[in-house]
Structure 1
Amino acid sequence: MRRLPTVLAAALAATSLLPASALAQSGRSKESTAAAGASAKATSGKATFYELRSGGGNCSYPSPPAGDLYVALSRGEYRAAAACGGYLTVTGPKGSVQVKVVDQCPECPAGHIDLSRRAFARVADPDRGLVGVTYRPAANPRIGKPLSFRVKEGSSQWWLALLVNNHGNPLTSVEVKTAGGAWRKLARADYNYWIAESGAGQGPFSVRVTDTRGHRVTANGVRLAPSAVQHTTTKMY
């Protein structure tokens, strides 16, 4: 969860994008959705900065990425979590930085991204608060980590919610099966967990993951162990 940063509130008030009376109470929705990000076309826009108060934002990651280089997107670009876990290359007056999509910025108009403070400092002087930038999806970013999974609290053999992390490109599909079973396609929630509403059994599961660049891999032995982050040796590419 995150609080509307002062600099962003001031910028939006100046452009009449939010009523002034609403700015002090604005907050980030916990359940949001994602932007696909397969296109390499650059977008010209603006950037502000903020800091996550806890966890990994609306994308539900247990913690911010290493280096605290992350970004929140407008509702339209976040698109019900479809952008979660993808990366953007952002360029500003001082240079460029690669950031992970971890959050939604409901009060941001299209083309306005909200960077972590550390990421903003890579592209501009933080004293400026609001700067013009260009940004584009990063294709096949090298993140150096294999896939990890987290089964959401409350999951059981009758209801399963699964979070996938460290995939690099945004995901298009997550499927699970148990030994001897058939693949079952999960539905993505707007808080970035993949859901089997009627459950998928007691596990352990094989999990097949497909991304926007056509990479598809299978990780085996994912346990029905709510709240535990399960690390694997499987990489997307």
Structure 2
Amino acid sequence: MGGFCRFGKVCSGLWLLAVVVCRWDAALAAAAAVNHLADLHWRPATATWYGSPDGDGSDGGACGYGSLVDVKPFRARVGAVSPVLFKGGEGCGACYKVKCLDKSVCSRRAVTVIITDECPGGYCSGGRTHFDLSGAAFGRMAVFGDSSQLRDRGEISVVYRRTPCKYPGKNIAFHVNEGSTNYWLSLLVEFEDGDGDVGSMHIKEANSNEWLEMSHVWGASWCIVKGPLKGPFSVKLTTVSTARTLSARDVIPGNWSPKATYTSRLNFFS
């Protein structure tokens, strides 16, 4: 290669071609990941609603998003799922399209919901695939003007499929959970587009080349017990669904504080 690259113009052209091919391959890989996630097959399930009829749904939830569920883009799109989709918290942040089957009261329009909670009992027991939606999300499946009539049905039959999460103008953020210290650091991921779910997380301390594995605690929260930990911290996360990896360098500053949220400069498909 060294001898061949003595021919400057040829070498420069090959380098440019390599860059173009590399970028093209990266774009194809990203598109393939989206297509893999966007399931084209509708699957049967049941659905109910909770909260006020036109409300946003839960306040907080088992995923640990807290007050985030009350503001856009989560607002009125939140949903609780049975354990088969909650997956012990690994399903947190995943997005689904849900569509009602009763043509007498339902439109053909599917509603997109973000998993923020679990419903382990009642309608969600017995290994069923079930969605417990906010009143607003449930009502959007109805024919215009028939939202109340649809909600009066109680439990309904639906079909669902996985869909990529989309957060226009948002980058991935990391919320430092309350109680975190230099010896116990817990993080929650917010606004992860694409897969939306997290399969593993690692952090890297300042002036270190070693990625330290975090443990899944509950819901969408991860933690590491080690210390004293020294920031700033880089964070690397890997998704459950397509095993895509993203690394945010020095996203959490050295003077970080519990209950603070730190936003990165990137997202999976931005």
Range into which the TM-score falls when normalised by the shorter chain:
0.7 to 0.9
Q: Which of the pair has more CA radius of gyration?
A: 2
1:159 maps to which residue?
184
2:96 maps to which residue?
88
What SS does the aligned partner of 1:123 have?
coil
2:116 maps to which residue?
102
Summarize deviations over 1:184-220 as a string: whole Å, max 9, x none.
1111122321110225713110001121223321112
What SS does the aligned partner of 1:77 have?
helix
Flag the 1:147–1:84 CA change in 2: closer, same or farther, 3 A.
same
Gaps of 5+ in 1: 1-36
What is the letter of the counterpart of residue 165 of structure 2? Answer: P
Matched, 1:137 2:162: yes
CA contact (8 A) 2:172 2:192 kept: yes
Rounded Cα–Cα distance in structure 1 between residues aligned with 2:267 and 2:152: 39
Greater share of residues in helix: 2
Q: How many percent of aligned residue pairs carry the same amino acid?
A: 29
What SS does the aligned partner of 1:163 have?
strand
What SS does the aligned partner of 1:58 have?
coil
Flag the 1:70–1:200 CA change in 2: closer, same or farther, 3 A.
farther
CA contact (8 A) 2:184 2:224 kept: yes
CA contact (8 A) 1:176 1:205 kept: yes
1:54 maps to which residue?
59
Flag the 1:82–1:199 CA change in 2: closer, same or farther, 3 A.
farther
What is the letter of the counterpart of residue 198 of structure 1? Answer: K
Gaps of 5+ in 2: 1-35, 52-56, 101-105, 143-149
Matched, 1:228 2:254: no
Summarize deviations over 1:23-70 as a string: whole Å, max 9, x none.
xxxxxxxxxxxxxx9683432011001134523x11111321523111
Q: Give 1:75 shift.
A: 1.8
Rounded Cα–Cα distance in structure 2 between residues aligned with 1:136 and 1:187: 29
What is the letter of the counterpart of residue 80 of structure 2? Answer: A
> What is the number of equivalent residue pairs in this alignment?
199
Matched, 1:180 2:210: no
TM-score, length-scaled by structure 1 = 0.77
Rounded Cα–Cα distance in structure 2 between residues aligned with 1:58 and 1:199: 28
Q: Give 1:172 shift.
A: 1.4
